[in-house]
Amino acid sequence: METVSTNRAHGGIQGVYTHASVATGTPMTFSVFVPDHAPGAVLPVLWYLSGLTCTHANVTEKGAYRAACAEYGIVFMAPDTSPRGDDVPDDEAYDFGKGAGFYVDATEAPWAAHFRMRRYIEQELPALVAQHFPVNMARQGITGHSMGGHGALTIALRNPGRFRSVSAFAPIVSPLHCPWGEKALTGYIGADRAHWRQYDACAMIDDGARLPDLLVDQGTADNFLAEQLKTYLLEEAVARAGMPATIRMQGGYDHSYYFISTFMAEHVGWHAARLQG
């Protein structure tokens, strides 16, 4: 692991790091905010998964999480959204290829060689983080935005007991029922829709997966709400399952980091109550 940069902020260190990933076969970059803490202490960790077209830098620069993480003593982890490099295949559209890994392990050519973001986020990066940073891996939370909200929900649902807290900002709740998801899952894992269910939060809940609690914020002025995000499908799924969830429609907010940064500190506090309690 190599250090790209470190900066003092809010009584802690904001770092950016790179390493050679076995899962993707490429260099991968991620950012970590570590609040000041007593020597030898280990802190809860909150994972943040970004959305389409983003890297670690979007939330690092615009997410407004550091003050809250410093207040509550939480490490904030932000990985990239896909493998990158000259040898990595790409697509001309913004919603497929680089920047659009969808947190799946691809099985279709040419994507299968590098697009293994599920394995990277669920296995490789947590092991690296546990080795190099003062984190308590028994106290993990996860959140994300849009495609990253889809990632946060499905990763938590696939790994019961790993995350004490799960939230999302404007998540893609059902890739089975939106153009973004249909394009990505067809391209990465093939046309058999039965295989898609492991990457669809609503389908996973219908199939019996559960979370202990869930917080979702969605802006009513989000131009992707009707066609791509379809928050009502998640509301219906958690109601059918009787699963605890707070799903809030925030009036007038769009899909941008203006929306995310408005509610980020509240999400960090919500996670802190579950990670430290």
- Do residues 24 and 16 touch, judged by C-beta distance below 8 A? no
**Coil, strand or helix at 141:** strand
Q: Which two tokens stand for residue 253?
A: 């907010």
Within 10 angstroms of residue 5's Cβ, the number of other Cβ atoms is: 9
Active site residues: 146, 222, 255
Alpha-carbon gap, residue 5 to 101, rounded angstroms: 25
DSSP letter string, the chain: -EEEEEEEETTEEEEEEEEE-TTTSSEEEEEEEEE---TT--EEEEEEE--TT--HHHHHHH---HHHHHHHT-EEEEE-SS--STTS---SSTTSBTTB-TT-B--STTGGGT-BHHHIIIIIHHHHHHHHS-EEEEEEEEEEBTHHHHHHHHHHHHSTTTEEEEEEES----GGGSHHHHHHHHHHH-S-GGGGGGG-HHHHHHTT---S--EEEEETT-TTIIIII-HHHHHHHHHHHT---EEEEETT--SSHHHHHHHHHHHHHHHHHHH--
